[in-house]
Amino acid sequence: MLPSDPAARHRAIAGTFTDLVRGTRSWEAPAPVDGWVARDVVGHLVEWFPGFLASGAGIELPTGPPVGTDPVAAWQVHADGVQAVLDDPATAGRTLSNPHIGDLPLDMAIDRFYTSDVFMHAWDLATATGQEHELDADTSAEMLAGMEPMEEVIRSSGQYGPRVPVPDDASAQDRLIAFIGRDPSWRPPV
């Protein structure tokens, strides 16, 4: 099981993602997200979160090189910046405000909306690039249990594809991946 503390949890999940980024040999490899390649998985994470954090908490993350130029360095600067926010003792007392989610403690908001996104997209990057990676089963089951009651809202956001059917005895990872609209058996075209 991954740590429950938001800073430690991000360190573990982002660390795993960093290993996958560094292990990527082809940034143009097709990804399991329709129309994406491996580079787009990193680009998504590096590009959406800074605006969310700036508008909701007034925090500006450092920016690295463009993902199109150097995805490894772009990810590293970004991940280090997020970790610095979570490691800052003042973070515990800060709030993130967003019209869609209300007010949340900053570390909880980062954990719930960003770190969980990194967790799920690790599967996308690993699968696209042929790297071995298995999502933590307990975390997968916990995330799925938290998302299923909000399925209608999640689907209407446009951020997730239709749920993919899987067998009743599918692993927690496969059930989570299928819930967010990915085919757990997807492999890059040969």
Virtual torsion, Cα 8, 45, 36, 73, nearest 10 deg: -90
pLDDT in tens, the chain (190 residues): 788 999 999 999 999 999 999 999 999 999 999 999 999 999 999 999 999 999 999 999 999 999 999 999 999 999 999 999 999 998 878 999 998 889 999 999 999 999 999 999 999 999 999 999 999 999 999 999 999 998 888 888 778 889 999 999 999 999 999 999 999 999 988 7
121 and 140 belong to one structural domain: no
Residue 188 covered by a domain: no
Q: What is the CATH number of the domain that holds 128?
A: 1.20.120.450
The number of distinct structural domains making up the chain is 2
49 and 118 belong to one structural domain: yes
Domain range for 42: 6-133
In 3D space, the residue among 171, 151, 168 whose CA is nearest the CA of residue 160 turns out to be 151
71 and 143 belong to one structural domain: no
Query: What is the pTM assigned to this prediction?
Result: 0.94
Residue 118 covered by a domain: yes
78 and 150 belong to one structural domain: no
103 and 142 belong to one structural domain: no
